[in-house]
Structure 1
Amino acid sequence: SHVFKALASGADLVALGRPLIYGLNLGGAEGVKSVFDQINHELSIVMQLAGTKDIEAIKHAPLLHQAASLA
């Protein structure tokens, strides 16, 4: 969801440094591939929930701020 929010906020790219370093440390090249696969999978789920079909649609998706409730 962080990647989606960054793109919807106007970012042209999103850095994934720390997760990729962890993946590299834990599993080498396969660990990095696994991180990319997981992030891609999570982004596709968020895109489906938001009704966006591609990256260009994300850039035009409205972001709504939800105030924290004091329940």
Structure 2
Amino acid sequence: MTARVPLHENPELLARALERSSGCPPLEQVAAAALGELAGPERAALLAHAETCPACGAEVALAAAAADESGV
């Protein structure tokens, strides 16, 4: 899984996240996976995709960092 990076320390994550392709899963699923709200094979597949897709990897990192910052 992508390491959690505080948002203020890596603004390049946002730029990468904006480069999503049409083959990427919906942002809601990416966020749910990052927050541990997506289970089973669906979560595993999404996280595997995020490891090879810079945009989705950035989204996972952004969602995780936002959750950390908000205490979720």
Q: Please indicate, yes or no, whether the TM-score normalized by the shorter chain is above 0.5.
A: no
Determine which structure has greater relative contact order: mean sequence separation of CA pairs < 8 Å that are 6+ residues apart, divided by chain length.
Answer: 2
**Structure with max Cα Rg:** 1
